[in-house]
Amino acid sequence: MGLTDTLAARFDLEGHDSDARTELVAGLTTFLAMSYIIVVNPAILSEAIQIEGYGPNEVFQMIAIATILSAAIATAVMALYANRPFGLAPGLGLNAFFAYTVVLGLGIPWQTALAAVFVEGVLFMILTAVGAREYVIRLFPEPVKRSVGAGIGLFLLFIGFQELQIVVPDEATLVTLGGVFGNPWAILGLLGLAFTFGLWARGITGSIVIGIVTTSLAGWGLTLAGVFERGAITPESLPSAQYDITPLAGAFVDGLGQIDPLTFVLVVFTFFFVDFFDTAGTLIGVSQFGDFLDEDGDLPDMDKPLMADAVGTTAGAVLGTSTVTTYIESSTGVEEGGRTGLTALVVALLFLASLAVIPLVAAIPAYASFIALIVVGVMMLQGLVDVDWDDPAWAVSAGLTVTVMPFAYSIADGLAAGIIAYPLIKVAVGEYDEVALGQYVIAALLALYYVLQTRGVIL
């Protein structure tokens, strides 16, 4: 039996109506869409993590290595244990909370912040092992489950539009149409987007990968030829990588000895809350797009991908990075046909391979990698057809879920809005008996959380 046959049997490719080539392309697509985190995560965390005796560039590279290793470990668990095509890595938003709120804002040592992430990860593992996490997710209202994919799609679109400067900040209206044609990099990104959409419309396999690579090569070529200014990173301008992360790995142990109990509990709770709903929303949203959900809108055996997320978070804290979570960019690979853990295994291996070529991977420019977010964001809007817009509870709950995500720049906030709205409208129309007790409890707890957060009682 050859390697292809072994992989096909191990991941049950035939049973998932897939093949090794499709899974390979899907894994490569997901990796390219996620690869920006190798640069973005250390860029954020290095503002808060300072190690005596090491310069900023050395710390940056330590965090980059920790980012890659934690992503590879978590995604490998997703592949081999859960057999799902989802990629994992340190999450955006959670790393900003870690750096700007916990460390720089509250003055908590970065080692203690890592300890909070570690405790959160262990707590998630326990809850997942006993099935509590899966049970809570199953209590999500049906309209939230059916609309979360479209909400994530709009969120992806907004992020991509910002990166390509299609929309920019505005004092009067908060955002407005950007001056994209005044920036050569934005123009190149826009041309790359049009090229990628054209490939996708023609049904060309690997269209997103081709679009990202072609746009990157064009940007590097124009920079090296002197057509564009050398403000952007190119392969030739990157420093060599170094791999010593011993000052960072295991630092959470020291943080456990510097705990203020009340503040530490609040930090752990906030990490827990945001990670829980980001992960839940991503799993359900991407699963909806990949047709993984059952007739009740649930993801079968959800405890397995949840455990991969929990293991990744714990491993990430040990290595020295913020919370690891399932990535919405996994939808890029699902769009390319990824249906099994082989897609995730490819992602994990590519993360490991990037250890040898960190400068080259980091050279993939934002205007190229974020093309995938816009393309996939448009594709994911099709999830709106599954919403019963004639039902008031569905319309309000789904509508808020979809719109709050991009407007609040948070998957968690969008989910919370939909969850709180559903029982309220059901009660208003006299259908209170159609709402499960657990849904009332979750809605009440979420409402209380946001009230306390607004009043500054909790983070």
- Full DSSP string of 385-401: GGS-TTSHHHHHHHHHH
Give the tens place of pLDDT for each residue, 82-97.
999 999 999 877 887 7
The answer to whether 458 and 270 have CB atoms below 8 angstroms apart is: yes
- Report how far residue 164's alpha carbon sits from residue 211's, in angstroms, rounded to the nearest whole number: 14
Q: Which ranges in 46-109 belong to alpha helices (H)?
A: 56-77, 94-96
165 conformational bin, left if phi > 0, alpha if psi -120 to 50, beta if neither: left
**pLDDT score for 409:** 79
Give the tens place of pLDDT for each residue, 239-285.
566 778 999 999 999 988 767 777 788 788 778 877 777 787 788 88
Q: Is residue 159 scored above 70 in pLDDT?
A: yes
Q: Which ranges in 290-340 belong to alpha helices (H)?
A: 303-319, 330-335
Q: 3-class DSSP state for residue 357? A: coil
User: Is 0.75 surpassed by the pTM of this model?
Assistant: no
Give every CB contact of residue 118 below 8 A, 6+ residues apart in sequence: 252, 256, 314, 317, 318
Q: Is residue 352 scored above 90 in pLDDT?
A: yes
Q: Which helix (H) or strand (E) segment is 281 a member of?
A: helix 261-289
The answer to whether 83 and 341 have CB atoms below 8 angstroms apart is: yes
- The CB density around residue 96, as the number of other CB atoms within 10 Å, is 15
**pLDDT score for 252:** 93
Q: Give me the amino acid identity at 68.
A: I
- Report how far residue 40's alpha carbon sits from residue 75's, in angstroms, rounded to the nearest whole number: 19
Domain ranges of the chain: 3-144+237-366, 387-458
